[in-house]
Amino acid sequence: MINVVIASQNPVKIKCTEKAFSEVFKEKVFVFNGINVPSNVADQPMSDPETLLGARNRAKNAESAKPNADYWVGIEGGIAETEEGEMIAFAWISIISKHQKGEARTATFALPPKITELIHQGIELGVADDMVFKRSNSKQSNGAVGILTHDLIDRAEYYRPAIVLALIPFINPELY
């Protein structure tokens, strides 16, 4: 059994990690565990570097909390403002093992002006989504990406390709 620790207890992050690892390593048997660990960045990271740091910190903090696992996965959602003043959302994935690391970023998408306005007021994206779209705890279900795409891409499916991409060094260890 290969033990994978996800640095979150959010069911969306656990589900997408399970799916990605099972697709990449078809012949392997995994046990997945989610734990709460800090990102050591703001609750709402506001830049690409801060979001990447949050994912890295989550993976490292998961490793410190559960040192006997085989993989530790940090997933951190963030936002950034473009030069045109538009706000975009994305996430970073950081996966570490005892001998390897891999990182990848999701695709980006633009946030609506009403959400951007709330974020400028210091409100976290998930809370802003719930306020604008009259939802409750959307970040543990379809998230902003699911709401805005009318569930063509839900939050778990949004993260999954980036997790697969972050696993490239583990799939091809001889190249890394």
Answer whether residue 139 shows pLDDT above 90: no
Per-residue confidence at 143, pLDDT binned at 50, 70, 90? confident
What average pLDDT does the chain have?
94
Answer whether residue 101 shows pLDDT above 80: yes
**Per-residue model confidence as pLDDT tens digits over 75-95:** 999 999 999 989 999 999 999
Per-residue confidence at 145, pLDDT binned at 50, 70, 90? very high
Per-residue confidence at 140, pLDDT binned at 50, 70, 90? low
Answer whether residue 70 shows pLDDT above 80: yes
Distance CA 134, CA 17 (A): 28
Listed range (66-70, 114-118, 129-133, 162-166) with the worst mean pLDDT: 129-133
Domains of the chain from N-terminus onward: 2-175 (3.90.950.10)
- Sorted by sequence, the CB contacts under 8 Å of residue 156 that are 6+ apart come out as 12, 15, 16, 19
For residue 103, CA distances in Å to 147, 154, 169 come to 26, 21, 9
